[in-house]
Structure 1
């Protein structure tokens, strides 16, 4: 490391989103054997307003960058200046992500080796809790730098690097750098040894932040491949970048197969409410269209009436009444059904849709109401909620690649839990608990029963 150039680099930006925010200042120090041999510093016009809270942190305001060159104007010069040397940065995936995206906008493909001083600090002093640059400068009494300005932070990193070179054996530091370069895409706060035993099997994984705050729950048929994929594209994906910066630890739970992984993921997300999961977190009240045989039009029913242990004819499961009405409205337009007869609009006589030629005329006697109802029922079939085919609880047996079977206990589409053996004492507690109907679990089970029934053994359980 002493005889090859290292570029200590720091950026100031308009925000944290690598694909949308812009660089406002850059400082790069080319160092050989601990000495600065070249420097590249510049204010950069981000071509967008700098948010007020960012101005307060960095001291860089819109007036300071007004008239400065854009990144595109500097891109070729900076690209040549960097010349492929390894860069050193604190929380390096942030700076590297911004650089790659800015160069990409300028039509240049930038790629180089990256060394992260935040990761190095965690490996050199794992007993310490804080590894941000302010904490490190204070801990090692490294003096005063112009913090949150690009050159000040770059010089602070160089001082930290020189301190480590004096405090640690050269071979130790070299080995840590080599190991980091082999794992350069991993989150800075995550101990890389946590990934070494990740299995290539189906299961669910959990990402934790500081103080064991749950960040994200995911599933895959290959845990190792899926977890590592989160860290391969964070410079192109703002969401993955934010998640990666927050991860401090992870856990995983193996399952027999894809069904078990999907069921467990949906259950854990609703129990733990991870901040980075959006879709499966939602537990709003469900509504559905109910259409008794003796009625000419359906009516909306909500959670209080959505008892799938009763033989109700239901169409669609929606998280809001507006979504249900929109879905029925689209079907009405597609099949020339009358929105007035269906209760979507009010009025008497010829409806507006019929005047536009979008209704076959059930509202004004051109189509018999019974014929209209039959057509509407047929059109709604694609939304029909499947009835539970068994009188009570059922165990679905899923077999893993190694031949081990796991039983998923389900009651009227409600997932209760999984067991390796149906004679386990835990079965009694699972089969007596009352679970609330969950639309995500319903969809998961439906997909498997309709598309892959041969993969499941079905065993009804006695009450």
Structure 2
């Protein structure tokens, strides 16, 4: 026999995907010796915490079903006896192994075992295929599953797969594949077993923390870093790949002791939540955020003879419906000056009159004919400022293209998350779980301009396909 002599084929169902935070709800084990099943055992397990509705939908295990089940401590001796002396076999094995190891750790016991991952075994034996999840194996090898996402149902599938590959491959080839499937990954320093395997393959945000446990009060603590990804699993693993650790990235990885993640409904949901986290916690390994509260627009001062010829009008938190005679949207003085320099080049405006250059008399640009000469009496103030107003007219927020509020509907099938993001006159009014709640936001939430949200929403709207996700809500009085 080319596979190890003693195998314990195991599957764990749980309250969620995090092997430290979540708890086991069901365990099934087949103990196999010399190719024969010598023990078969399964049990529901009281997790000591509620089962989320989405997990209930997937597994069919409810809070009522585990209410009278034994806690892990009561079945720990049975589990240990079934696993003793065996190779721990599971699909995405480090995930199940982490739940079992952490469960023993919580009751003051240790657990160690060699691990064989059937995902890796399938990849080694069938490299021509790209999908090696359990559903893919069931379809490809015509395996029979009586109860998918129940522990014993999934264990029986793995046992069928093990018997098929033993019958279909020479012992030497199977032994080599098993060796590869049992190769332990290089664990990042400080991270608990199984965390990287638990990260889902869905869009969202990930947070790296320097502490092993979150605060006891249930609040979020400051992360070291907040990142975003279309595939959380792939992106998080990239951070911990040995060949990419250098400089500041290596310093970050060395400090990480906890990984959290937030599954999102789509690109806009990701951007909005990312902005909220960056502002709330200012993670030290993210680029510093400039305060949006200092955003301003320009109001030209008619017939002003000397600079400044405009006022900086604060617009953060204001309702754009109340704006009148304002030009541009600027986060800081640097952005405003850069735009004024660009307009000066395009329209032969005077940098001295624009407040970009000090002194008196003709400006430096007039000598090279880049200024029409308001500073040298060659044109009137009214002529100069009319060109300035014309140039400014094309910058800032464009007219709101809808009659009232709109909502963007995002849905992520993999996680089941659905969000309705409500906007009106470039202001974000909030997110809701359904259209009725979105309509309530549109009717009641105040408009408060935010330069960062305005910019990210404009970027999102620039993708034509995104417009299919957008729909109007009832208009309200301005």
**Matching of residues 266-415 of structure 1 within 5 Å:** 266-280=275-289, 282-283=291-292, 285-291=294-300, 298-303=310-315, 307-345=319-357, 349-380=361-392, 383-390=395-402, 393-400=405-412, 406-415=419-428
Q: Would you say 1:183 and 2:177 are equivalent positions?
A: no
d(CA) in 1 for partners of 2:111, 2:198: 29
Retained in 2: the 8 A contact 1:189–1:245? Answer: yes
Give 3-state SS (helix, strand or coil) of 2:240's partner: coil
Retained in 2: the 8 A contact 1:234–1:241? Answer: no
Q: How many residues align?
A: 300
Retained in 2: the 8 A contact 1:257–1:398? Answer: yes
d(CA) in 1 for partners of 2:246, 2:344: 39
Residues 1:459 and 1:392: Cα distance change in structure 2 (over 3 Å): closer
**Matching of residues 86-101 of structure 1 within 5 Å:** none
* Structure 1 position 285, deviation (Å): 1.5
Alignment-derived partner of residue 262 in structure 1: 271
* Structure 1 position 183, deviation (Å): 3.0
Residues 1:219 and 1:190: Cα distance change in structure 2 (over 3 Å): same
Give 3-state SS (helix, strand or coil) of 2:436's partner: coil
* Structure 1 position 408, deviation (Å): 0.5
Retained in 1: the 8 A contact 2:410–2:419? Answer: yes
Retained in 1: the 8 A contact 2:203–2:264? Answer: yes
* Structure 1 position 178, deviation (Å): 8.7
* Structure 1 position 189, deviation (Å): 1.4
* Structure 1 position 446, deviation (Å): 0.7
TM-score using structure 1 length: 0.53
**Matching of residues 135-154 of structure 1 within 5 Å:** none
Give 3-state SS (helix, strand or coil) of 1:241's partner: helix
* Structure 1 position 266, deviation (Å): 0.8
Residues 1:404 and 1:318: Cα distance change in structure 2 (over 3 Å): same
* Structure 1 position 272, deviation (Å): 2.9
Give 3-state SS (helix, strand or coil) of 2:312's partner: strand
Retained in 2: the 8 A contact 1:202–1:254? Answer: yes
Alignment-derived partner of residue 69 in structure 1: none
Q: Would you say 1:207 and 2:216 are equivalent positions?
A: no
d(CA) in 2 for partners of 1:180, 1:289: 65
d(CA) in 1 for partners of 2:189, 2:428: 37
d(CA) in 1 for partners of 2:473, 2:442: 14
Retained in 1: the 8 A contact 2:403–2:475? Answer: no
**Matching of residues 14-53 of structure 1 within 5 Å:** none
Residues 1:208 and 1:178: Cα distance change in structure 2 (over 3 Å): farther
Retained in 2: the 8 A contact 1:332–1:338? Answer: yes
Retained in 2: the 8 A contact 1:220–1:258? Answer: no
Unpaired runs of 5+ residues, structure 1, are 1-122, 129-166
Q: Would you say 1:250 and 2:285 are equivalent positions?
A: no
TM-score using structure 2 length: 0.52
The alignment yields a C-alpha RMSD, in angstroms, of 4.2
Retained in 2: the 8 A contact 1:233–1:240? Answer: no
d(CA) in 2 for partners of 1:313, 1:228: 51
d(CA) in 2 for partners of 1:318, 1:281: 12
